[in-house]
Amino acid sequence: MIRTTLLLLLLVACDPDKQIGENNLLGDAGGDGGTCACGPESCVETNRICGRSDCGFPCGECQPGAYCFGGGGCLPGNLAGGTACIDAFGDEVSKLERGWRVCPTNSNEHQWCECTGDAAGGWTNCDPCIPAICSHVPELLTCGAPGCGAGDVCCIPGSDPNARSCRSSCPPNNATRECDGPEDCAPGGSCCGSDGTRNAYCVPQGTSCSSLDQYCHSASDCPSAEPYCCPSAALEDMRSCKGTAFPGCN
């Protein structure tokens, strides 16, 4: 009976529709042009169905409001008394779990560490830094078609919101969209802005969007307080995190 109850708990917070590496921050499995040092076989070999394998490949995700328990499944809530760490790819690593962080002495390297559960950057028992085990190539920034590449922002004229352009910086009387989701920001950061002004900016890890909209692509981008990623009523090409679901949310 105890074993059956534990199995049900492991399954209740897992999303059967999520594929390995659905999150766009998760290296080559996310289909975003990134690459990892190993493939899905590393998840099979270690019996992981969530979190990352020890060589960096993303083995799967948990729904918002759940955490990965030892790589074997998703449990509801958060590990008691702990705060999830944010890894090198912007994903959560639960207390006592191991994950990859950006090396503090070289941003081009990664380090395999244990999450203390004390803070988003609380790591301990770290192995030596090594060359980055996975790279990430951001998706195009939404700006009409085809979108903006790396280094550019989307400029939206106040006089004609449809006359958008990609530039290194925006001229006066233009809204600036530098992100449309967290994948455009530094690891652990969020994309915040206002539908009314059409501005969207990255804020660093640990910073809340407060009264601003938090932009997303799927529910995995959203915090537990606003777990639904929903279409914007004012910006047809943007989605933001909401506390209540309505048609079109995911």
pLDDT band at 10 (very low <50, low <70, confident <90, very high): very low
**pLDDT of the residue at 128:** 94
Among residues 100, 131, 162, the one where a domain terminates is 131
- H or E element, residue 31: none
**140 vs 125 pLDDT, higher one:** 125
| Residue at 31 is within a domain | yes
Distance separating alpha carbons of residues 52 and 186, to the nearest angstrom: 19
Residue 201 structure tokens: 């900016």
pTM above 0.85, yes or no: no
Domain identity same for 114 and 64: yes
**For the chain, percent of residues with pLDDT exceeding 90:** 20
pLDDT at residue 233 tops 80: no
Q: What is the mean pLDDT of the chain?
A: 77
Domain identity same for 124 and 21: yes
Range of the domain at 45: 2-131
Domain identity same for 28 and 118: yes
Domain identity same for 9 and 117: yes
**pLDDT of the residue at 138:** 55
Domain identity same for 125 and 41: yes
Half-sphere exposure of 157 (CA within 13 A, CB side): 6
Domain identity same for 123 and 167: no
| 14-23, 58-67, 75-84, 117-126, range with greatest mean pLDDT | 117-126
**For the chain, percent of residues with pLDDT exceeding 70:** 80
Residue 74 structure tokens: 């998703």
pLDDT at residue 135 tops 70: no
| Residue at 94 is within a domain | yes
pLDDT band at 246 (very low <50, low <70, confident <90, very high): confident
Domain identity same for 180 and 121: no
**211 vs 80 pLDDT, higher one:** 211
Distance separating alpha carbons of residues 67 and 54, to the nearest angstrom: 18
What confidence tens digit (pLDDT) does each residue in 143-160 have? 876 688 777 899 999 888
| Residue at 50 is within a domain | yes
Domain count, the chain: 2
Q: Which residues touch 211 (CB under 8 Å, ≥6 apart)?
A: none
**pLDDT of the residue at 33:** 37
Q: Which residues touch 223 (CB under 8 Å, ≥6 apart)?
A: 64, 214, 241
Distance separating alpha carbons of residues 191 and 89, to the nearest angstrom: 15
Distance separating alpha carbons of residues 134 and 125, to the nearest angstrom: 21
Reduce the DSSP state of residue 248 to 3 states and report it. coil
Domain identity same for 8 and 117: yes
